[in-house]
Copies of this chain bind each other. A is one copy, B any other.
Amino acid sequence: MSELKITDFRVIDLRFPTSREHIGSDAVNKDPDYSAAYCILETNHGLRGFGLTFTLGRGTELCVEALRYLAGFAKGRTLCSITDNFAAFSEVLTGETQFRWLGPEKGVIHLATAALLNAIWDLYARSEGKPLWKLLADMEPEQIAGAVDFRYISDALSREEAIELLRARRAGMEDRLAQLQKTGYPAYTTSAGWFGFSDEKISMLCDQALAEGWTHFKLKVGGNPPDDLRRARLMRSKIGPNRRLMMDANQKWGIEEAIVRTRELAEVNPWWMEEPTSPDDVLGHARIRREVPEVRIATGEHCQNRIMFKQFMQAEALDVCQIDSCRLAGVNENLAVILMAAKFGVPVCPHAGGVGLCEYVQHLSAFDYLRASATLENRVTEFVDHLHEHFIDPVRIRNAHYLLPEQPGYSSEIYSKTLQDYSFPDGRVWRK
């Protein structure tokens, strides 16, 4: 049989009208319509690869257009010509000599790069007949390092150090795999604490989540101080003193306000404070962390690339590293950050929710445990219960754990009926 070759692609602007029900609302993102720039790669063997980047509605068309351009770099190439030197292919995309000005490696063009690279990894895993986490877990250290662009991060983690770390951490993988197969990877729920929810709704959703076995709960803060405190006390009273309560301010505060507000909210013993200020402010996070040592600081869903994550670690600016499977340039750059975090000893607790993010990060967390961090201590992956019904291989949660995916690929294939109904602006849902 001839080599597997990417012969064509399709790009779709997919939007779900989630703002109609305040789903996903927080102090900053008040009306998200969970959306995706979605990419389907066609091959000469009939096998297809599916990839996406997550967006909030308006502006998805920009990612779609950028993705359409970048996908041209994959068209006509054999899969192995890409995967044999995966970092080089990633550099072709991020270094495109005219596009690069629009970043570099950030914003619209980087989100589009993520969708394409995610689609290629999906195709790669399918071609090997493995779920992505298993493809990664079976790779040699050199292969994994070969997918990472070490430019601008080798002062913090060199290729040689990465390979060394991967080699050392392989020990005990079989036991960890058995454990994941038995109980899954620990998860937390954000579904009970959206900003736009009333006290009654939070209360009801906490009861429901407790009944389902959840042990870690996230609350959106960043509103008026008395409101935040009231809601935080409510959630704490519902979940009791021993379960974990995390808070998320979604970048609402300046540095000094973040310090005051985080101290105030420390009353209810939050396990972490997430995005207390601008995601660009490494030094600001470091200062908040120093001045409020009683609360762990989390950030990452808006962290634009590995260079920023590197600095967050070098500056000891975060306690919890929240990689985003679609804001970083696909699996490749997520591997870079997971490996840096493993070296620096920072727990990776991926950001998820939206559309497709949960499907993605379960693979990354499994890889992190099996091959990079080799521990579950202080690790928990976000879960939000929206839109999974549109995926052919959706996440499976049991007793507040992600069960290991079993189907080949990166769990990113969406039903074609969904693609029709929710495509923007011509799908059924948007026409009416």
Contact = CB atoms under 8 A, between A and B. Distances in A.
Most chain B CB atoms below 10 A, which of A154, A279, A283: A283
A28 B280 contact: no
A315 B280 CA distance: 14
B107 A283 contact: no
Contact of A58 (B63, B99, B284, B314): B99
Interface stretch (A73-81, A305-313, A355-363): A305-313
A48 interface: no
Given A256-B154, A281-B152, A307-B280, A102 B107 contact: yes
Contacts of A279: 104
A150 to B, nearest CB: 8
A65 interface: yes
Interface in A53-68: 55-59, 61-63, 65-66
Contacts of A224: none
A280 B254 contact: no
Nearest to A15: B98
B57 A254 contact: no
Interface in A142-181: 151-152, 154-155
A151 B254 contact: yes
A106 B304 CA distance: 10
A101 B66 contact: no
B62 A97 contact: no
B108 A102 contact: yes
Contacts of A95: 28
A109 interface: yes
Contacts of A307: 278, 280-281, 284
A283 B315 contact: yes
Contacts of A109: 59, 62, 107-108
Most chain B CB atoms below 10 A, which of A33, A101, A111, A315: A101
B103 A107 contact: yes
Contacts of A310: 281
A308 B284 contact: no
A89 interface: no
A65 B96 CA distance: 20
29 contacts: A28-B95, A28-B100, A29-B100, A30-B97, A32-B97, A55-B101, A56-B100, A58-B69, A58-B98, A59-B66, A59-B99, A62-B65, A62-B66, A102-B111, A106-B107, A106-B280, A106-B304, A107-B110, A108-B108, A152-B284, A154-B256, A155-B287, A280-B304, A280-B307, A281-B307, A282-B283, A283-B314, A283-B315, A284-B311
Interface of A: 28-33, 55-59, 61-63, 65-66, 69, 95-111, 151-152, 154-155, 251, 254-256, 277-284, 287, 302, 304-305, 307-308, 310-311, 314-315
